[in-house]
Structures are given as structure tokens and as C-alpha cells.
Structure 1
């Protein structure tokens, strides 16, 4: 995978994270399911493993995956492919 592909996947994941955190219920669910806290997210915001987990979180709940993709103006599969890219 090229550096540009990695950067694009990370940018998309960061946008998805922002989308998640803008909704208190969604954010609380993310924190509960991942065991992270706000400080943990802040300190690891550029960690590909964290960003992969964020996209995996969306993948595990299709309504959120679709809503996030719509807001970010990308097809849902783009979020899935970004997660796969970060997993490599």
C-alpha cells in the first residue's frame, strides 16, 4: 500500500471519528465498546490501529456505517476499504 493510500485511509477514518464524536450517544457507545476514554483517543488519534478500530466500529453497526458514509459523501464501501487498508 502506498503512503498516499494510507494517508487517504487515515483521513477518512479521522473524518469518521469526528462524525461519531459529534453525537453523544454514538460517542458513548464507541467508548463503551472499545474501552477507550477521551484522553486515550486524543493521545492515539493518529494511530492506524485506533483508526482501524473506529472504522470497524462503524462496520459492526450498518445504520451508522451508512449514515456516516452519507455525511462524508462517500460510498459505505469506502469506509470498509479504508479499514482494510489500515489493517495491513
Structure 2
């Protein structure tokens, strides 16, 4: 078996719209975040949300601000998420700021 075939491969999502909607960016960050069980558990513990309330309020600006704030609080996650979404980490920070000020 080839060593390439034994390694997982994930293609990063590449951002093509620099003026992306902050809520859409935050939702994509949430999807990325929930893709890792330990990270998702940490989000729930830190925000006080449970799975049903997260599902019900996933599109709520306050929830999206909390998600982006969670990523900002741990720089490695912020950088990894930004890379997976194909944006600069600052784009996630700016999205949080825009949602807070909306």
C-alpha cells in the first residue's frame, strides 16, 4: 500500500469572496469547529451551551460572536480554522467585530 493512500487528506475550503458575510464566515467556522469532538466539547463547556441550544441558536449573532471569540481565545485554533476556510485569521476577528457591532 502506498504511504500516500494511508494518510488522510482534506482539501481546505478556499475563500473566493473577500467581502464575505460575517455570519456566513462564522457559520463556516462553527462547522469547522464541530468537526473535532474534543474541540466541540471544549466549546460547549466554555460557552455553557448544550447541543440542542447550539442547534437552535446557531444562526443567532450572539452565538456566532461566542464561536468566533472562542476561536480567538486559542490562537492555534484560530490559525487552523482560518487556514481551513482559506481566509486570514484577521478575517475571523473582523467577522466577530462586525457581528458585535451589527
- Tell me if TM exceeds 0.5: yes
CA distance in 2, matches of 1:38, 1:18: 13
TM-score w.r.t. the length of structure 1 is 0.91
- Note the 1:8-19 alignment, pairs <5 A: 8-19=21-32
Residue 53 of structure 2 corresponds to which residue in structure 1? 40
Q: Does 1:27 align with 2:44?
A: no
- Summarize deviations over 1:42-80 as a string: whole Å, max 9, x none: 110110000010000000000000000000000000000
Residue 65 of structure 1 corresponds to which residue in structure 2? 78
User: Which consecutive aligned stretches of 4+ in structure 1 deviate over 4 angstroms post-superposition?
Assistant: none
Residue 83 of structure 1 corresponds to which residue in structure 2? 96
TM-score w.r.t. the length of structure 2 is 0.79
Specify every segment of 5 or more residues in structure 1 that has no aligned partner in the other structure, as ranges.
Answer: none
Residue 23 of structure 1 and its aligned partner are, at CA, apart by: 0.1
Residue 12 of structure 2 corresponds to which residue in structure 1? none
- Summarize deviations over 1:12-31 as a string: whole Å, max 9, x none: 00000000101000000000
CA distance in 1, matches of 2:63, 2:27: 10
Which structure has the greater CA radius of gyration?
Answer: 2
Number of corresponding residues: 83
